[in-house]
Amino acid sequence: MTEPAAKTQISLRVPADLVEAFDAIAKGMERDRSWVMLRALKQYLETEGADVLRELEGIAALDRGEGVDFDQVMDEADAIIAEAMARQTRKAG
């Protein structure tokens, strides 16, 4: 059995209308507000947050010199396209 993740208490200011919406959802689902807010945060991290984290990792990789030269990428793409066109010409010919 896996151990539950350690939890950290945080504090943040949230507009009253959002709190009311979270409370209504929590009541309708018979859950507490924290459960609903945690689900919302997890959903964010799986979608938009994941995109941001990938972009940050890409920037860090570039900063470490792990990027690929744009001209090299374009040359490889041109070679792939040329080979595909040559195969298509041989099939048609």
CB 33 within 8 A of CB 26: yes
DSSP letters along 36-54, please? Answer: HHHHHHHHHHHTHHHHHHH
Q: What is the pLDDT of residue 68?
A: 87
Q: Tokens 């959802």 — which residue?
A: 25
What are the residue ranges spanned by the domains of the chain? 16-68
Percent residues over pLDDT 70 in the chain: 98
Q: What is the pTM of this model?
A: 0.64
User: What is residue 1's predicted lDDT score, i.e. its pLDDT?
Assistant: 67
In this structure, is the dihedral angle defined by the CA atoms of residues 78, 80, 82 and 88, taken in order, positive or negative?
A: negative
pLDDT in tens, the chain (93 residues): 677 789 999 999 999 999 999 999 999 999 999 999 999 999 999 999 999 999 999 999 999 999 888 999 999 999 999 999 999 998 887
pLDDT value of position 31: 98
Q: What tokens were used for 51?
A: 């995109």
Among candidate residues 41, 39, 37, 57, the one with its CA nearest the CA of residue 49: 41
CA 17 to chain centre: 27
